[in-house]
């Protein structure tokens, strides 16, 4: 029986992780949950359903306490970090945004393993996270879960390149991105996910974040990480080896597969997701990313290769721009422009040395100030 802590339990990943756990009561047991605090009744209902004795919320602690008895409530900015440090077999981090970095570090510092959905942890604080040892992290992102599994087919020195697949997002077939609405950007063609990652998929910023994530997670140079459009999202990623063989991991798009694998690795969880139906005719397509229409992938690769604090700047600027788009203050097509302009202005941050979380926070603060000013200029 594995004891699991879930951070961000009210979100898309968190809810699906709880469904995986509910379907496998002899394999997994949840012992603590955390969330931001925007949906406290759901968090409490989850705790009651799974018999969890302790929850954390970054805001709304008083409301949580007033709605429940017999469940301890930790509240405040560091609540998820405190929950992450509870001794357990694995902490699943399903928080959205680089606010998830502190809890990832807290889990690792406490000696816990981490099932990482929060890719921003690795983008903003990759070296800090990696310093704890990559063997303590299992990826939840479907692409990285696929790579993790494909890498088992050969030794690291035999890897020629890793190829991430990308659905292409909501606008892969749309030429004119000048009048995109929020509702359109929130409609993903193959995956059902939280709002930020769905918008990041539409700009392809998500694929850029994933390239940086793969660099840290698998200790691979950027030259060995590529991305390709695959609209059906069945091939989750591939590894090409030096003999010319390419190993891929496949399943119809459903996050329960990678979530179950991350919680149970190296064991597999029976019936975690449906398999490919080979009795039905189907075809899968692959095509190169159109960098002119979607410059975010090249930009992320550039920031990742420059290193230092520049990936954290890339992510923080994107968080500002996406929030501005969601609140109607920025055009969709300007999101990546803001990210590009912020990373250009703060390029020297690539030379910075990151020693701890406060260094990352300071860099992010600089990036947010610049990005917010650029958003105001665009208005």
Ligand X SMILES: NC(=O)c1ccc[n+]([C@@H]2O[C@H](COP(=O)([O-])OP(=O)(O)OC[C@H]3O[C@@H](n4cnc5c(N)ncnc54)[C@H](OP(=O)(O)O)[C@@H]3O)[C@@H](O)[C@H]2O)c1
**Stretch of residues binding ligand X (CB under 6 A), selected from 32-40, 106-114, 265-273, 296-304:** 32-40
Please report, as residue ranges, which positions from 115 to 174 form the binding site for ligand X (by CB under 6 A): 117-120, 141
Closer by beta carbon to ligand X, 59 or else 246 = 59
Strand order in the sheet with 159-166: 225-229, 159-166, 235-241, 246-250
The CB-of-295 to ligand X minimum distance in angstroms stands at 20
Q: How far is the CB of 100 from ligand X (least distance, A)?
A: 6
Please work out the total of residues on this chain that contact ligand X, with binding judged by CB under 6 A. 31
Nearer to ligand X, 119 or 172 (CB): 119
Residue 364 contacts residue 312 (beta carbons within 8 Å): yes
Kindly identify the residues of this chain, within the stretch 322-361, that bind ligand X according to CB under 6 A. Answer: none
For residue 174, give every residue at least 6 positions away whose Cβ sits within 8 Å of its Cβ, in sequence order, or none.
Answer: none
Contacting residues for 267 by C-beta, under 8 A, at least 6 apart: none
36 binding ligand X? (CB under 6 A): yes
CB of 231 to ligand X, least distance (A): 17
Return the number of the residue (196 or 239) whose C-beta is nearest ligand X.
Answer: 196
Considering only residues 1, 25, 38, 290, which one is a binding residue for ligand X as defined by CB under 6 A? 38
Query: Is 14 a binder of ligand X (CB under 6 A)?
Result: yes
Q: Which of 96, 149, 251, 315 binds ligand X (CB under 6 A)?
A: 96
Q: Cβ of residue 166: shortest distance to ligand X, in angstroms?
A: 12
Which C-beta is closer to ligand X: that of 41 or that of 111? 41
Pick 154 or 189: Cβ nearer ligand X: 189
Bridge-partner residues for 33, per DSSP?
A: 6, 55
CB 165 within 8 A of CB 227: yes
Out of 4, 10, 164, 249, the residue judged to bind ligand X by CB under 6 A: 10
Q: Which of residues 179-208 bind ligand X (CB under 6 A)?
A: 191, 193-197
Distance between CA 149 and CA 170 in Å, rounded? Answer: 28
d(CA 358, CA 105): 12
Measured from the CB of residue 97, what is the shortest distance to ligand X in angstroms? Answer: 6
- Write down the least CB distance from residue 5 to ligand X, Å: 12
Residue nearest to ligand X (CB): 11
- To the nearest 10 degrees (0 to 180), the angle between helices 142-150 and 205-218 is 30
User: What angle, 0 to 180 degrees and rounded to 10, lies between the N-to-C axes of helices 195-203 and 205-218?
Assistant: 100
Check if the beta carbon of residue 374 is closer than 8 Å to that of residue 341.
Answer: yes
Give the residues across from 247 on adjacent strands. Answer: 239
Q: Least distance from C-beta 191 to ligand X, angstroms? A: 6
CB of 255 to ligand X, least distance (A): 4
Write the interaction track for ligand X spanning residues 221-260; mark x where CB under 6 A is met and - where it is not. Answer: ----------------------------------x-----
262 binds ligand X (CB under 6 A): no
Per the structure block, which two tokens stand in for 228? 């390709």
316 contacts 364 by C-beta, under 8 angstroms: yes
Does 37 engage in binding with ligand X (CB under 6 A)? yes
Distance (Å, whole) CA 162 – CA 143: 10
CA distance 70 to 62: 14
Tell me how far, at minimum, the Cβ of 42 lies from ligand X, in Å. 7
For the record, the structure tokens of 171 come out as 């606008």
Min dist. Cβ of residue 119 to ligand X (A): 5
Q: Answer for the pair 214, 161: CB distance below 8 angstroms, yes or no.
A: no
Measured CA angle at 26 (ends 24, 28), to 5 deg: 65
Contacts of 333 (CB under 8 A, 6+ apart): 177, 178, 180
Residue 91 within binding range of ligand X, rule CB under 6 A: no
What DSSP designation does 59 have? Answer: S
Question: Which residues are near ligand X by CB under 6 A?
Answer: 8-14, 34-39, 58, 80, 94-96, 99, 117-120, 141, 191, 193-197, 255
């Amino acid at each position: 029986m594995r004891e699991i802590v879930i951070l961000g339990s009210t979100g898309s990943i968190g809810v699906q992780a709880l469904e995986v756990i509910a379907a496998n009561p002899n394999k997994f047991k949840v012992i603590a949950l955390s969330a931001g605090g925007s949906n406290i009744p759901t968090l409490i209902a989850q705790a009651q359903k799974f018999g969890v004795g302790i929850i954390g919320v970054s805001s709304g602690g008083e409301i949580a306490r007033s709605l429940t008895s017999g469940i301890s409530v930790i509240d405040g900015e560091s609540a998820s970090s405190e929950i992450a440090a509870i001794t357990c077999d694995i902490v699943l981090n399903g928080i959205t945004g680089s606010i998830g970095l502190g809890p990832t570090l807290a889990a690792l510092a406490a000696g816990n393993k981490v099932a990482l959905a929060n890719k921003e942890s690795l983008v903003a604080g990759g070296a800090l996270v990696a310093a704890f040892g990559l063997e303590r992290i299992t990826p939840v992102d479907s692409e990285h879960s696929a790579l993790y599994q494909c890498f088992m087919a050969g030794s690291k020195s035999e890897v020629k390149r890793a190829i991430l697949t990308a659905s292409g997002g909501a606008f892969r077939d749309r030429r004119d991105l000048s009048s995109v609405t929020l509702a359109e950007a929130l409609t993903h063609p193959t995956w059902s996910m939280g709002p930020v990652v769905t918008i990041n998929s539409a700009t392809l910023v998500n694929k850029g974040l994933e390239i940086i994530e793969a660099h840290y997670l698998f200790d691979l140079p950027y030259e060995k990480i590529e991305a390709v459009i695959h609209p059906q999202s069945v091939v989750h990623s591939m590894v090409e080896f030096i003999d010319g063989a390419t190993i891929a991991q496949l399943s119809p798009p459903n996050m329960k597969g990678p979530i179950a694998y991350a919680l149970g690795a190296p064991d597999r969880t029976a019936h975690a997701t449906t398999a490919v139906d080979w009795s039905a005719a189907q075809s899968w397509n692959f095509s190169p990313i159109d960098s002119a229409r979607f410059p975010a992938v090249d930009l992320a690769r550039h920031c990742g290769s420059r290193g230092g604090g520049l990936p954290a700047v890339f992510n923080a600027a994107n968080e500002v721009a996406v929030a501005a788009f969601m609140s109607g203050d920025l055009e969709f097509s300007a999101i990546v422009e803001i990210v590009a302009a912020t990373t250009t202005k703060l390029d020297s941050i690539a030379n910075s040395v990151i020693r701890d979380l406060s260094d990352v926070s300071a860099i992010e603060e600089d990036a947010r100030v610049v990005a917010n000013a650029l958003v105001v200029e665009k208005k």
